[in-house]
Amino acid sequence: MRLAIIIAVLDEAEQIESCLAALAPLRERGASVIVVDGGSRDATVRLAAPLCDRVVAAPRGRAHQMNAGARCDEARGADVLLFLHADVRLPRDADRLIFRALSNRRSGWGRFDVTLQGRSAGLPLVATMMNLRSRATGICTGDQAIFVEQGVFLALDGFAPIDLMEDIEFSRRARRLSAPVALAPPVIVSARRWDQAGLARTILRMWWLRLAYFLGADPSDLARRYRDAR
């Protein structure tokens, strides 16, 4: 099986090199790494180009960028697509874990557990609750490095072109086909935004956004409010 890793970025010059350097062992084993830029004004594209297989330009917005990455030639030839945030680090054997899990089960998609890396003392508890919630509901978030078989992604017509909650919306549709595979070896997620905004404030904001979305709020309006609150 062949893996394509798709990374949607915007002004990630500070960490794109470390992100891509961590993926070098997977590239050596045949994975393709595709960086999809949403209009960065810093050096993201220049720094990423020599460390990945393809840089794709796309309209700003994570859903638009991830769909654009999935449509490029390097991704279309892959059996499995993995959508990665620039501040998330995969387990060393992520590709083997994914292939083994998908080949042994009927599910065509899944995600990893998370470990939050930051200064706040409550981060281990938050990560535990995130993992338990995801296992109970089948809802996955982008921080959990969602992966999906190519055929399933095409059948679902990719991510909905919405400005926020695209990962939640995708999970709701995908779980109608099958429950997600939940891989216990965790991805390491930078908690920089949690540390900057404060743990309690970040938790309340994210729960408020998700509740509003589930109650029918417009994702575009939620995205605007999220940006204004940062």
Q: Is the pTM of this model over 0.95?
A: no
What's the pLDDT at 124? 92
- Backbone dihedral angles phi then psi of residue 26, each to the nearest 5 degrees: -70, -40
What class is the 3-229 domain?
alpha beta
b/e per residue 77-96 (b: at least 16 CB within 10 A) = ebebbbbbbbbbbbbeebbe
What's the pLDDT at 119? 86
What's the pLDDT at 229? 55
What's the pLDDT at 216? 78
Domain boundaries, the chain: 3-229
pLDDT tens for the 230 residues of the chain, in order: 899 999 999 999 999 999 999 999 999 999 999 999 999 999 999 999 999 999 999 999 999 999 999 999 999 999 999 999 999 999 999 999 999 999 987 899 999 999 999 988 889 998 999 999 999 999 999 999 999 999 999 999 999 999 889 999 999 999 999 999 999 999 999 987 777 767 777 777 777 777 777 777 787 877 776 665 55
What's the pLDDT at 163? 87
b/e per residue 141-154 (b: at least 16 CB within 10 A) = bbbbbbbbbbebbe
- Backbone dihedral angles phi then psi of residue 183, each to the nearest 5 degrees: -90, 125
